[in-house]
Structures are given as C-alpha cells and as structure tokens.
Structure 1
Amino acid sequence: MKAAKKATVTMSNYPLPAATQTISAGQTVNGASYNTDDHVVVEGSLTNATLTQNGGGIGSIVVQSGGTLNSATVTSGGNIFALDGGSASHISLDGSRSADLIVESGGAVDTVSASNSAGIDLRGGTLSNVTLTTSASMKVESGATVTGVQVNNTTEVDIDAKSQVSNITVSNGGTVDNTGGSIASATIESGGNVSVERGYSYDSATSSGGYLNGTIDQCIISSGGTLTVGNGGSATNVGLQSGGLIDFSTLTYDSSAKYSYDAATYTLTVTGSGGTASVTLDPKTSDIVDGQQFDLVENSDGTLAIETCFLAGSMIQTPQGDVPVENIRFGDNITVYVDGKTETRSVIWAGKAHTTVRPGRPDDEAGYPVRVLKDAIADGVPYKDMLITAEHCLFFKDRFVPVRMLVNGVSIFYDKSITSYDYYHVETEQHSVIRADGMLTESYLDTGNRSSFCQEGSVIMLGGKPRTWEHDAGAPLCVDRSFVEPLFRALEWRENSVVGAQMPVETMELTDDPDLHLVTDTGATVRSMRKTAHQYSFMLPPDTQSVRIVSRASRPSDVIGPFVDDRRHMGVAVSEVHLMCAKQQFNITSHLQAEKPEGWHETDWTDCAWTNGNAELPLGDHLSHGKMGILSMIIRAAGPYVVNDQQTTRVKTKSA
C-alpha cells in the first residue's frame, strides 16, 4: 500500500492562531467572507461563510465548544477546526492552494465535500456524509468515527487503530488503507482499492470491480468485483457471485502453489511461496459453491488467482466455417446450439492469459491440459485432438460434464508434455452450447476472471456475460455419478480403437490400512496400544490438551474413479470418542459439533465425521495435574488409500 500523496494535516502542523474575530455565544453571523489574515473563533453561530486565500498566509475558522458552523466554503486556502463540543455541517473544501478540515476529539461534522488535494484529519471526533474527489485525502485517527464516505478519483484514506468507518464506497481510483480500524458496510466499485493489514476486519463489504485485502467478514463480490486476500488474510461469509474474482495478490505463483476446497464448509485455502490465505463462501449469497468451478492460475505479475478455463488451438464452428480460436475477435459470429438447432451469436469480449503447470499436485489440480484424442467420443468426434482444461465441460444428452470426470488415461488423458501455455477467453452474449473440433462443448460461463486477461490471444476460454449455472447456463451442469459413470464406461469401452491411445499403466497401489496414530500438542507421536476391527485405544501422557488424528488420506475421485465428484482428501470416519482418566470417562464430541475443529469434513452420518488425514481433536483439561489417560475412538470407515501419493498416467477405478 503506497503512502498518501498528500501529508495528512495534524494539530501540531497547524497550531491555533490568535483570533482576529470572535463570534461570541448567543451571537449569529450570516454570509461573512474571510481571507488570509482572518482567524475567526466561533462560540456562537456562523452561517454561509467563505474563506479565501488572497496572500501568503492561511486563514482559519475555529469552532469552539457550543459553537456551530453551518455552510462554509474554503475555495482556495484555509483551515477549519472543529474542537471538543463544536459542530459544523455542509463544508466544502477546495485544496487547490491548501484547504484542510481538522476535527478534534469531541468535535462533530456532517456533510463534507473535499477535492483538489484538500485534507481531512479526524482526530477522535465524528464525521458523517463525506465525499472525497480529485486527490483529496483523509486520515481517521484512533477513537474517531466516520459514517457515510464516498472515495473516488485518486483520493486516499488512512484508517488508524481503534477507529470506526461505516458505509464507505470506494471507486474509480480511490484508495483506503486500513491499518487497524474497523470498516463496516463497504462497497468497492470499479477502480477502487481497499487494503487492510493482517488481523483486522471488514464487516458487510461489497466489491464490484474494486479490491479488498486482509481479514474480511460478510463480503459480497459482485460482477466485475475482485476480492484480494493477502498472506495470512482470511475472508468469511463471502458471497462470490457471477462475475466475481478472488485474487491472492501476495502469494507467488510457482511449483509450490496449491489450493484445497472443502465442499462441506465451502472453504477455499490457497498456498503459495508467499504464504497462505483462505476464503469461506456463503452458500446463501454465492452463485459458486462447488469446488469444481475453481482453478489456480497465474496473474500477469506472477501472483495467484482462482478461475476456470477452456484450452486453445481449437477450431470453433462459425457461420463461415471452422475458425482457429486464436483468430476470433470481438464482434465475430460463432455458431451455437439451442434445443438442437443452430443459431448465431456474437462474441462480446475476447482476451488472453497464460498459465504454468504446478508439478507435484494431483493432475486435475496441477493445471495440465486434458487431451481428448480424435474419435475418443465417437467416430469423427472430435475430428482432431482437442485440448481443454480439466474443468471445462463437454455436452452429453442435454447436460454439461467436466472433462476431468471422463479422464481414462488412454483416449482422454492429462497431457504432461505441456507445462506452460496461453489460453483465451471468448464471451458470447449468452452461455451457449457450441462446437469445437467437432465436439459439442460450452461457451464460457463468466465467473469474474476477466481482469486476469489482456486483449487478444492459445488455450481458450469461451464465455458469456456474468451468469449462474442455476439460472443462466445453456444446459444443466451434471456431476452426478449415476449419470457420469455410464459415460465414462462407454468411452472406456471404445478407448483401444482410438488411434494414438496411451498404453494403460497400472502403478497405483491401494491399501485399506489407515496407518492411524496420534500426535499430541507437544509433538509426540502416539501409536495405538490396542485395536480391534473398528476401535483404537491410545495411552496419552499427562497434561495433553489436544491431539491430532493422523492417518493416510486419499480422494474418492482417485481411488474409485474420476466420475466421482469428490476431491476431498478423506482420512478416517470417527464416531464415538471417549477419554478415560482417574476412574472417570469423558465423552469427546467436538468433531460432531456444527463448528468443527480444523481438519474435519462433514458426513451424511450424524454421529461421525471424516478427517482430512490430519485433524485436531481438543480434549480440554481432563489430563491436567499429572494425570494420564486412555483415548478410545470408533472408526466407522477407512480407506482405501493410495499407497504412492503421486499421480499416475492411468486412472485406476474401483467399484464402490
């Protein structure tokens, strides 16, 4: 966050001058004009005043306790002070040659407009209904309260610790830097920028084209809006609507970059070499709550963002014939399919971006493109090899299915020879069924990643206006196993007749052994002292207040098949947990509560929960004062697990 362009005024910068005129208590002055040499003290009432600089000095109006200033204009230089007990309203500041408003603790000011480098220093008083334009600045110091702020046109606001700002709108070049205060009900429009240091918070923030950093609660990111979350930052109750983008600006995009999405809690956690940040979506206000709609990509500056995409080199059907996607531009017509009939729709936006594969991640998360071989779907479909991203959808029986759920490793596979590529985003007016390389697929349903692209474009993203799958998709999105697995099996059946099919490589070894053990809060590893088919018992040392339940963990989409739309890492399903010490037994139920400790997934069972392979289990202080204990737990389900966690060319399937 850069420093303010204009130094914020303080009382020490502007000591109170000797009065040249005093408006005493009970006295009223209307329509007075003052200049450089005037220093007016208001103890009574001053209305419709003008303060103009016409020399080398700076005039001032000081509103003392009991005094009121109603309607004042500082046109070209001067200061207005609102001291303890003083009040002012309808103040206009034009800072072309210096104009500042200083509100001391106990002062109150309502309705202020500041422009042209004018400054406002709120030093503990209250301010409401302020508009900042054209390089104006405002400093909100400790103990101050501001309600109703419009920030735009390259203006800047600094918010210090223990101050409060509510109902703030930031747009068109406006900047807000929160270094410790609280912000409630923020709206960040196009071009606005709001930054908060780690550990501070927003309440009820709305983003529409602007940016937010730090720790946020109750944020809505609407069409064109960008939520920027820095290292250590977190956002909860985020409404990610169609057209909204989450940007992790301080996390560097490199081989260590990864993300996880807990569909049970709607929590997205992103890690890069610059640290970790998390976002928890609010399903009530989000159009996007399914992890399949996320992809981790590189911004132009090397940082991370989440989006979805569709690869390049494809031939897109148009009324004039098939056209390489890289040649499609704004205003071009492409052919779409509506109820089985062809129509023509125009491209309303086209852009280009770049991504690099993250080795070491699961294939579907690493960023490898999916190659659909010629004839893999049917004879002549596609009519050439097709390259698309894992999340892009193909069209079957009036439904869209993500291609990652159809990867068989033979005729449809992750092409690991491609580790870096360009891709395009081409928007049509409506989300559509289109034909690429002879295969019916989707135009891109815009979910707000436009800011990651520059105009022009070789991997493709095709898209429409910001929409939702529920209300605006060209066809329903279907990830149900009952629908997808028969498709997978049908394509698997014809895979060996496809020219260029990969050799099946079975290197995935599975085991049902969870390798279950505990790690105490002091870092000690505890193996089971006794176990049966479903019950494990562990001897815990004195003063243990929590343990981590550690085990193998694998994704159902890996051990069963990609046609299972569950990419959570599943450890063990834990039901009853008992702690026995000093001839007493305590029921441990924190993992069964609505608010679970870190590392737990929800389950359809009400009496157990799945770990992610490393889940925290608080025990309280039952083992204090040197007491040892035995922790017993019932494991409802476990495995199978992938023994070698590295992904393989061949996707092994297992009936379940």
Structure 2
Amino acid sequence: MTSGGYASGITTQGGSLNVSSGASVDKSTASAGYINIQSGASGTGNTVAGNQAQLNVLGGTLTSSTVIAGEFNVQNGGKANIVAVSGGVLKDDAATVTSATIGGSGSANIISGGVLSASTVTNGGVVNVDSTSKLSGETTISNGGQLILNGSAGNGSIVMEGASSLLTISGDTMPTNVISGLQNGGRIDLVNLKNVTMTQTTSNGIDFLGTDESGKTVDFHLNIPNANTIGYKIIADGHGGLYYEVCFLPGSMIRTVNGDIAVENLQIGDPIVAFDWKNNKDVVRSVVWAGKAHATVRPGLPADEAGYPVRVLKNAIADGVPYKDMLITPEHCLFFDGQFVPARMLVNGKSIFYDTSITSYDYYHVETEEHSVITADGMLTESYLDTGNRSSFHQEGTVISLRSTVRTWEHDAGAPLCVDRAFVEPLFHKLDARNNMIGSPCSSSANAELIVDPDLHLMTESGATIRPIRREGQRYSFMLPANISSVRIVSRASRPADVVGPFVDDRRMMGVAVADVHLVAANKKSLVTSHLQAVKPAGWHSTEWTDCAWTNGDAVLPLGDLTQSGMGILSLNIRAAGPYLKTDAKPLLTSIRSA
C-alpha cells in the first residue's frame, strides 16, 4: 500500500500487507501472515489474532492495537499507543510503547533500548525489560502480573497493586526506579542474591548486604520511600522477597514455661509451651528466631488486603478464650480441632472484626524449632512457619543464622491449614452465635446491601458503551457497529468472600458467568469461543468448566473480523450473575480507550 493509500477491515490469512509511508490501515486483523507498518505509516484499531501472525510496526505508528495471539513487534523507532495484550507476545525493540495493558497469557519483551511508558501488567501477564531498556512514567503491576527488570530501568516509577503482584529483579544491578504500593501478598524477588543479610531500612528505601551466585559480597539499595514505616521484609532463601506476613501485635501474651510473656519481650532461646495435639499434651519448644516490623494500613482496599489487624474480643471463642482482646493479622491462623484456620475467614463483624481504628502498628514473628501450636492470650494459635518470606531486616534478640531451607504447609506445618468451607462455615456460625453472650459493641456486616442486577453492558475499543437491546431470560443481545474487532464485557463484580461470607476462601472479583456466545452479521451466525479456551483473554477467570467462564467484571471478548461486513447482533448466554455488594469497587482491568 503506497503513500496516500487507506485500507480498513482487512484480514490477512497468509502473505504480507505492507503499509508504506503516508498510508494507513485501520481495524484490520492479522490471522496469519504479516501486516507491516513502515516508517511514516499509521493505523488504528488493528489486531493480531493468530499464532502464525505478526503485526510489525517498522518505524510507523499504531494506536489502539489488540494482541490475542501471535507477535506484535514494534521496532526501529516505531510507536504503539494503547495496546491490549491478552495473549501472544509484544516486542518493543528500540521503539516506544505507551499505555499498554499486558494480561492473561500475554507477555512483553522490552529490548535494545526500548521504552515502555505508562503501562500495566496484570492477571497473569509478564513483562521483561532488558538491561538496555527503560520504563517511563508509571508502570503498574497488579493482580497476578509480573515485571522482570534486568538493570537500572530508567527513571519511571513502579506501583505494585494487588495481593499477587510480583517484581523480579535479575542481575547484580539494582533498578533506581521508585517502588511503591507493595501490599499484603505482593513481593519483590531478588533472583541473584544468596544468604541475604539486611542492614537497615530508612525513609529512602532498603539497604542490605548479600552474596551473589558467585559468592561475591554485594551491597544493594531498593528505592522504596518510607520503607522504615511500612513494614517490608526480605526473604533469605537464595532469591529474595518483600512481604507483609502473619504475626502478632504488641501486647499478645505468649505462654512460656515461666508464665505468659508479651510477644515483644520474647528472646531467642526462651522456652515456649506448645501443644502436641496428636498426643494431647503440652511440650516445650525454644524460640529460634524473633522478628519485628511496622505496617501502615492502605485505606480504600478491602479490609483483609488493606492491612487492618483482626481483633478477637475477649471470650469470643469460648469462656476465657481469649482471656483478653487479641490482635493479629488477617492471615494468622487459629487452631480448632486439629486444623489451622486463617483469622480472616472467621471475621463476623461483631466478636471478630477488622479494627479500622488502628492504621499503623508494629507486628512480631515468633519461630520455634518446628512449626507449633502455641498459646497467645489463652487462645491456641500458630508459631511462625518460614515458607520463603522470613523478615531479616529487623531481628529481635540474639542474632542467629537463617535457615537455608524453605518450609511448606504440606510437609512442615504443625497442623493442617484448612480453608475448606465444609469445616470453616459451621465454625464461623458457632462463633458468630456467641456474640449475644459476650455483648460485642460492633455491628454485623452480614446485612450488607446486595444488588442482583449485573448492570451488564459492552464497551468498544474506542470507549463507547453499548447497552443490551433486549433480554430474553438469561440471554442478552447487543447491537454492534461494523468493524469491531473486540469488545469488553463489563458488569458489576464482587468477591464471594464478601457476598457469601468470609468462610468462602475465594477473594476473586466475580462479574458474570458467560456460556455460549453468538454473533449474527451479514446473515451469518458465528459461534464465539475465545473465552472457553484453555488460554483465555484478559479479564477471564480460569475454570474447570468447559462450557462457561466467569469474568472479573471487565473482560475482553475478541471478535476477529466477524463484523467487517457490517453491523451485527452479539448474543451472550449469562449462566450466572450476582448478587453483588452495592458498595463494591470498579472492575479490575484498566479501561482501554482510543486516543
């Protein structure tokens, strides 16, 4: 296609479409073969959707591109603005990519001096930035996304959001990027460090010593503002990581052979009374490690993710258990009938609740010779289990060597970890029923207002909202304009743990369950099944079902070239939806709009 040329709605099934300087191509799809955007050429709303396909920006500029499968290559100074990657590979080779969202099975490689600007990696996506390339603006890692850095990575900032966000730092050169937003469950892995020894945390970040893979002593710095007040920790298992972790708050009274001692006063070597539940007897175990850190709550997140401590009121479990109010972190486990149950699954808003009056606090770890059932405030609970997230930057008491072996719940726990609803729900209701007996001052969260209407609608690549033109039972129908290569299925979304109860160990945002999808265009009815494939587009939850899949409230549905011949009717069979919390937050995915 030569200068001045224009094409729209083309689908390549093989061969090459070359767009020269001064020409443009819009709303076209590479299903196989190549679409090449040469220097000086441009395009909007194009898609690469086949494993053998490539969309190549060879010095030109593309806007609002979608990558479902195959390769999207931006090189030779090319520019790509607003890119949605749910599968396949985005490669930025000495070019610039701005406002990209990489999720699902998608990945991105930033190489040879490439720049990634103001982008998000989420929901299974992976971004790898080589040592010559850099980040610009704010890069967000959220909800299962992974960002891998192999060097200094420029001066862009990194924001970590979501309980499973992962920043991996490979090599011996630390990034200078400002890192913020690390929350409960998020982590930083320092791949090439061994036997890490923390030195200090300051208002400017974390400074620590360690040994690299060759045995050389190294001194590194992570640029995490106010790290000394937020409570990050570094693991020492040959990689590295920063976590919030299960722990006690100050004033928790730990049972020892010398009586109950406040957790903050325990020292390495102190003898603790542990409960051998298999033989129904007490045993003595020594403290082999004690650590302390500080946490600051992040308001605006769900209470279990924000970092609020859980308060278990006096007598909430049984008469005299605990014998005073108990304060622990949400993931800390309590012991019932041979099982460890996370405190967050027992929160009833009355006798066991998130204490939102506490927004900043110290917390403590206590490790015994082996993972143990110990007693705190008269309540059976757990000691610390090093599953690869030990704090080493502020160790209390006598310094001892860290273990090199990471332990697991499956093989090393003092009792099984149980999140099974069949066990936890009856326990939850039993404890909830004690509320009237202990006179709890807190109101219940069980009466939260629910909404059944999913507010289901579609959004186009340009950001236009499409409401259903009709609904017949579970089937919603939408009128689509021509040349739409994908839509987003948008709805309300809530977490089962909030709607059903905390005894349900499912904290995913659930939108609607979509079964069969049909598109009628040009008198032809087509079945759309991308959401039912093993590798799903961004915004879909993996499921054991083969005929239905849940959205997270904002899910991409690729349509390919099905509407290139004209308008169409998209029909969705919604197998399940809601109820939803009236106050729930927005969907997870970042909105993708045209420039």
Task: Tell me what 2:516 maps to.
Answer: 576
Map of 1:652 onto structure 2: none
Return 568-577 or 504-513, whichever deviates more: 504-513
Q: Does 1:629 align with 2:556?
A: no
1:319 aligns with 2:257: yes
* Cα distance in 1 for residues equivalent to 2:247 and 2:369: 17
Residue 599 in structure 1 maps to residue 531 in structure 2: no
Residue equivalent to 1:564: 504
Task: Provide the secondary structure at the position in 2 that maps to 1:405.
Answer: helix
Which residue is equivalent to 1:362? 302
SS in structure 2 of the partner of residue 599 of structure 1: coil
Aligned-pair CA distance for 1:646: 7.2
Show the counterpart of 1:391: 331
Q: What's the secondary structure of 2:584's corresponding residue?
A: coil
Structure 2: where are the runs of 5+ without partners? 1-92, 95-109, 114-127, 135-145, 151-155, 169-174, 188-224, 233-241, 398-402, 587-595
Alpha-carbon deviation of 1:253? 3.4
Q: Which residue of 2 aligns with 1:466?
A: 406
Structure 1 position 345, deviation (Å): 1.4
SS of aligned partner of 1:231: strand
- Equivalent in the alignment of 2:80: none
Number of the residue aligned with 1:495? 435
Shift of the 438–259 alpha-carbon distance from structure 1 to 2, 3 Å rule, reads closer
Distance in 2, matches of 1:248 and 1:332, equals 41
Partner of 2:387: 447
Q: Deviations along 1:569-590, whole A, 9 cap, x unmatched?
A: 1000001011111111111111
Distance 1:196 1:515 in 2: 42
Shift of 1:429: 1.8
Aligned partner of 2:269 in structure 1 is 331
Contact 1:549 1:617 in 2 (8 A): yes
**Distance in 1 between the 2:485 and 2:129 partners?**
37
Q: Is the 8 A contact 2:291 2:366 kept in 1?
A: yes
1:215 aligns with 2:148: yes
Structure 2 counterpart of 1:532, from 462, 472, 489: 472
Measured after TM superposition, the shift of residue 260 of structure 1 is 8.8
| Contact 1:252/1:303 (8 A) holds in 2 | no
The count of corresponding residues between Structure 1 and Structure 2 is 390
Note if contact 1:516-1:552 (Cα within 8 Å) is conserved in structure 2: yes
Structure 1 window deviating more from structure 2 (328-337 vs 608-617): it is 328-337
Q: How far apart are 1:464 and its partner, in Å?
A: 12
Describe the SS at the equivalent of 1:601: coil
Out of 423, 447, 457, which is 1:483 matched to? 423
- Distance in 1 (CA, whole Å) between partners of 2:550 and 2:252 is 42
Aligned equivalent of 1:413: 353
Return the structure number with greater relative CO, CA threshold 8 A, min gap 6: 2
Q: CA deviation at 1:611?
A: 0.1
Aligned partner of 1:352 in structure 2 is: 292
The aligned residue for residue 300 of structure 1 is 228
Code of the residue aligned with 2:228 in structure 1: it is: S
**Cα distance in 2, alignment partners of residues 360 and 543 from structure 1:** 39
Partner of 2:239: none
Q: What residue number does 1:612 align with?
A: 552
Q: Quick one: structure 1 residues 606 and 618, their matched pair in 2 at CA, closer, same or farther if it must change by over 3 Å?
A: same
Q: Which residue of 2 aligns with 1:253?
A: 181
Match of 1:513 among 418, 433, 453: 453
**Against the structure 1 CA distance between its residues 505 and 475, is the aligned structure 2 distance closer, same or farther, given a 3 Å change threshold?**
closer
Q: Specify every segment of 5 or more residues in structure 1 that has no aligned partner in the other structure, as ranges.
A: 1-160, 163-177, 182-193, 201-212, 218-228, 241-246, 262-296, 458-462, 648-656
SS of 1:422's partner is strand
What is the Cα deviation at residue 503 of structure 1? 3.4
Counterpart Cα distance in 1 of 2:547 and 2:336: 38
Is the 1:199–1:214 contact (alpha carbons within 8 Å) kept by the matching residues of 2?
no
Q: CA deviation at 1:237?
A: 13
The answer on whether the counterparts of 2:346 and 2:428 sit within 8 Å (CA) in structure 1 is yes
Alignment of 1:130-149 (within 5 A): none
Q: State how far apart, in whole Å, the 2-side matches of 1:622 and 1:396 are.
A: 56
Which residue number in structure 2 is paired with residue 231 of structure 1? 158
Q: Distance in 1 between matches of 2:334 and 2:576?
A: 34
The residue matched to 1:306 in structure 2 has which SS?
coil
User: For the Cα contact (< 8 Å) 1:597–1:616, is it kept in 2?
Assistant: yes
The letter for the 1-side match of 2:527 is N
In the TM superposition, 1:5-404 aligns within 5 A as 180=112, 196-197=130-131, 214-215=147-148, 231=158, 250-253=178-181, 299-300=227-228, 305-312=242-249, 313-338=251-276, 339=278, 340-404=280-344
Cα 1:517–1:643 change in 2 (3 A) is same
Superposed CA offset, 1:404-449 (max 9, x none): 1111111101111100001112221211110000000011111233
Which of 562, 565, 580 pairs up with 1:641?
Answer: 580
Q: CA deviation at 1:381?
A: 0.4
Distance 2:460 2:148 in 1: 29
